[in-house]
Homo-oligomer: A and B are copies of this chain.
Amino acid sequence: MPYGDAMNARVRSEERRAEIVQAALEVIAERGYRGASLAAVAERVGLTQQGLLHYFPTKDALLVAVLEDRDRWDAMPNTRLRVELIASIVEYNAMRPAIIQTFSALLGESVTEGHPAREYFTERYTRVRSNLAEVLRTEYGERLPSGLTPERAAPLLVAIMDGLQYQWLLDPESVDMPGAFRDFLTLLGENRQHPA
């Protein structure tokens, strides 16, 4: 096979993998991970189940790819991140309900026994709390205007983001997720630094 054809085959294979991961995100959003089947993912990309297994030999391998995909586009440039940018992320999330639905469903399932995403979420939250504490320290120093330390404020910031997502996914007409998140930032001390 000429070199160019091998290149093309590799590119096509990468594209196919990306399509499969996208289809898996959709199927998990619709049915959860335990309710998702490889057959449903295969059907969505026009493959046989056997064809899908060529790319991902197990359902768990496909889940790992889904989670790694999130880490790639969610990677926070933590040294430069400012609190204001976190509000922008929440605004961006409000424009992509499908992805938020996938990860809210996975987070919910992850607390059940022996779930394959449990370790991922546990480690992710440890890392995110630590990163957010650094962001808050950079912005406010050792005490936020509200009096909390960055380490005590960080889990609240994570909880607000996750908790608002559930209320917003269930009832987008009633819940203004980005507005509520900004209210929380006001509580943390944003407005006291920049009084209106």
Distance A146 CA – B190 CA, assembled complex (angstroms): 12
Interface size class of A (residues with CB under 8 A): 35 or more
Q: A187: which of B29, B107, B129, B156 is its contact (CB, 8 Å)?
A: B156
Is A85 at the interface (CB under 8 A from chain B)? no
Is A48 at the interface (CB under 8 A from chain B)? no
Whole-angstrom distance between the Cβ of A12 and the nearest chain B Cβ = 31
B112→A101 contact, CB < 8 A: yes
Q: A108: which of B108, B122, B153, B183 is its contact (CB, 8 Å)?
A: B108
Chain B residues within an 8 Å CB radius of A108: 32, 104-111, 166
Chain B residues within an 8 Å CB radius of A167: 125, 129, 155, 158-159
Is A186 at the interface (CB under 8 A from chain B)? yes
Is A113 at the interface (CB under 8 A from chain B)? yes
Distance A160 CA – B163 CA, assembled complex (angstroms): 6
Q: A156: which of B118, B153, B183 is its contact (CB, 8 Å)?
A: B183
Chain B residues within an 8 Å CB radius of A111: 101, 104-105, 108, 166, 169-170
Residue positions of A touching B, CB distance < 8 A: 29-32, 34-35, 101, 104-113, 118, 121-122, 125-126, 129, 146-148, 152-153, 155-156, 158-164, 166-167, 169-171, 174-175, 180, 183-184, 186-188, 191
A-B contact pairs, 21 of them (CB 8 A): A30-B113, A35-B112, A101-B112, A104-B108, A107-B166, A110-B166, A110-B170, A118-B170, A121-B166, A126-B171, A146-B187, A148-B186, A155-B164, A156-B164, A156-B180, A156-B183, A156-B184, A156-B187, A159-B163, A159-B166, A162-B166
Given contacts A35-B35, A152-B180, 15 further A-B contacts (CB under 8 A): A29-B113, A30-B112, A31-B113, A105-B111, A106-B108, A108-B111, A109-B109, A121-B166, A122-B170, A125-B171, A146-B187, A148-B187, A156-B164, A159-B167, A187-B188
